[in-house]
Amino acid sequence: MVETKGARTRLRLAESMLELIQRHGYSGTGLNTVVEHSGAPKGSLYFHFPQGKEALGEKAVELAAARFGSLVADSAPASAAPADVLRHVIDELAKMLEGSDFQLGCPVSVVTLEMGAQSERLRDACADAFESWIEPVSELLVSHGRPRPDARALATAMVSMVEGAVIVSRAQRSTEPLRCAAQAIAVLLEPATEASA
């Protein structure tokens, strides 16, 4: 499929919003800064996002959700054990944190914390993003022998643990919290490994 110039501009604006949210938060990201950062024509923001900052923030959250979902999918070949998949995902997140000097965090958690009580639109976008991560992890666990209700609960706990570990890693400027999360997840997954052996 050939992307139009308009589609490329819309994506560029969303990518800039995403990166700026990661660095400065949602509230700390102004629309003029997004336009400048993206290099898009000034009039293009309201052309592509006529509902303004919330619509652009929603698109940035959707983009973040898709990228993390792709990371999980790319880490999960059919034969991979769930613990190995999550370990790979956590390794990639640790590289991202270190590569950004602990400046980039999860934009979905940032938007949730800042805007969850103020904007139903953004709260819903964040809830959908988290769900888009929980569901494939849950399905991975089911495919390795976990009963579906247990898999859902465990997937929710794992995504929550990783999200919290990213926040603590940024605060401590260390990937150690992420490494601890990986170890704890491996322990949580041990019964599934034994059950499917």
Cα–Cα distance measured from residue 191 to residue 90, given in angstroms and rounded to the nearest whole number = 21
Identify whether the C-beta of residue 64 lies closer than 8 Å to the C-beta of residue 18: yes
pTM for the predicted model, two decimal places: 0.86
Q: Is residue 5, in this structure, part of any structural domain at all?
A: no
Residue 150's domain comprises 61-196
Contacts of 192 (CB under 8 A, 6+ apart): 82, 141, 144, 145, 146
Q: Is residue 34, in this structure, part of any structural domain at all?
A: no
Q: Is residue 38, in this structure, part of any structural domain at all?
A: no
CATH code, domain with 91: 1.10.357.10
Query: For residue 84, is pLDDT > 90?
Result: no
Q: Is residue 45, in this structure, part of any structural domain at all?
A: no
Q: Is residue 41, in this structure, part of any structural domain at all?
A: no
The three-class DSSP label of residue 144 is: coil
Q: Is residue 98, in this structure, part of any structural domain at all?
A: yes
pLDDT for the residue numbered 155:
95
What would the pLDDT profile of 22-67 be if each residue is shown by its tens digit?
999 999 999 999 999 999 988 899 899 999 999 999 999 999 999 8
CB count in 10 Å sphere of residue 158: 24
Cα–Cα distance measured from residue 175 to residue 37, given in angstroms and rounded to the nearest whole number = 28
pLDDT for the residue numbered 196:
45
Higher pLDDT, 79 or 169: 169
Q: Is residue 109, in this structure, part of any structural domain at all?
A: yes
Q: Is residue 3, in this structure, part of any structural domain at all?
A: no
Q: Kindly state the tokens that stand for 70.
A: 């792709």
pLDDT for the residue numbered 79:
66
Query: For residue 174, is pLDDT > 90?
Result: yes
| Domain count of the fold of the chain | 1
